[in-house]
Amino acid sequence: MTAATTLSRSALLFLSRRDGLKEVATRVGPLRELARRFIAGETLEEAVEAVKELNAQGLMASFDHLNEAVRNEAETQEEVREYRRLLARVDALEVKANVSLKLTQCGLLFDPALALKNARTIVKEAAARGSFVRVDMEQSAVTQATLDTVRQLHSEFGEERVGAVLQSYLRRTETDARALCAERVRIRLCKGAYLEGPEVAYQDKKDVDAHFVRVMRVLLDSGVYHGIATHDERMIDATLDHAAKQRLPKSAFEFQMLYGIRRDLQVRLAKAGFPVRIYVPYGRFWYPYFMRRLAERPANLWFVVKNLMKG
Ligand code: FDA
């Protein structure tokens, strides 16, 4: 990574955390248009249409209602209502999809007990409808609280109803992965998308990638159904190699990718017979999610700047 790339990544991730911009950004027309590449729409119905198209191409989905770092109880209640509505819609339409949820959307930043209560209501709804809730992983300040909450919900509802996410940029992740696998918690492994310091996270891409491969092997060897979430063909090839070496059936794990990124690869893997799930975010508060996507690839930023200057 060049110094300029590192700087623009840090700046974008810093800006992604500016709460005040969450509302403002939604009103900037050209930004909103550009965000559409990564976001299925602002309404549930738009997201449902996107998921139907993915299903038609042999891809599964995970809906995510965008909102995070919620600071008051009333807003967390709205999120619970939205997820219950979403799960009911998924059930009624029989689309191939589960849901992803952030605990800061449920109140984790100001009241962990409330976050657990809200998440429990959502997982209970999912359980009643035979669905599954993936609890996204956010910044390292909430890693432990997030895993504690997932463990609690897992003990109440079981491995088929709720699962965790681990990030290979965090130094602690291999240890977490081994412990969670022993408890049969389903894991989504990704690289990690937040701004983290060297005390907790690898800073060098090659260390993040090497850790990803180590943890991927732990997951695939565990006999639990996990998700390998990446668009990096080297990580995908390492996964395919390890699965072949261990003679795992294609159905032993799933690949996961983000809406709007590497559609060619998504379809190619699905056509080869691997389960592939696409993360489909929707909602009005797309700003922090969009900024994290820009930070992942500096070329995206130039695309935005060019379009804003045109418009
Ligand atoms: P890497 O960043 O090395 O990219 C590999 C290639 O993918 C690039 O060369 C490019 O071709 C393509 N690519 C990647 N990002 C792109 C972008 N934004 N725009 C265009 N092309 C892009 N993170 C987190 O912290 N908590 C979470 O809960 C989740 N959840 C999650 C779910 C799913 C299904 C996925 C796929 C990812 C996440 N992430 C996440 C995000 C993850 O941590 C990571 O930031 C991104 O996946 C990018 O990393 P890659 O593994 O794709 O590798």
pLDDT 10s digits, 96-132? 999 999 999 999 999 999 999 999 999 999 999 999 9
- The domain that holds 167 is classified in CATH as 3.20.20.220
Q: Residue 30 domain-assigned?
A: no
Distance 171 CA to ligand 1 centre (A): 18
Residue 153 lies in a domain: yes
* Any domain includes 34: no
Our mutation pick for probing the ligand 1 site, out of 6, 105, 143, 190, counting the most ligand atoms within 8 A of Cβ, is 190
pLDDT band of residue 7 (cuts 50, 70, 90) is low
Amino acid identity of residue 288, one-letter, is P
Q: For the chain, how many structural domains are there in total?
A: 1
Query: Is 154 contained in some domain?
Result: yes
Q: Look at residue 260 and give its three-state secondary structure.
A: coil
Contacts with 54 (C-beta within 8 Å, 6 or more apart), sequence order: 60, 61, 278, 280
Spell out a b/e string for 203-218, using b for 16 or more CB atoms within 10 Å of the CB, else e.
eeeeebbebbeebbbb
Q: Tens digits of per-residue pLDDT, 173-213?
A: 999 999 999 999 999 999 999 999 999 999 999 999 999 99
Residue 270 lies in a domain: yes
Binding-site residue set: 102, 137, 167, 191-193, 205, 230-231, 292-293
Ligand 1 center from residue 231 Cα (angstroms): 6
Residue list, ligand 1 pocket, CB within 6 Å = 136-137, 165, 167, 190-194, 229-232, 256-258, 261-262, 279, 293, 296-297, 300
Q: Give the domain extent around 189.
A: 39-285
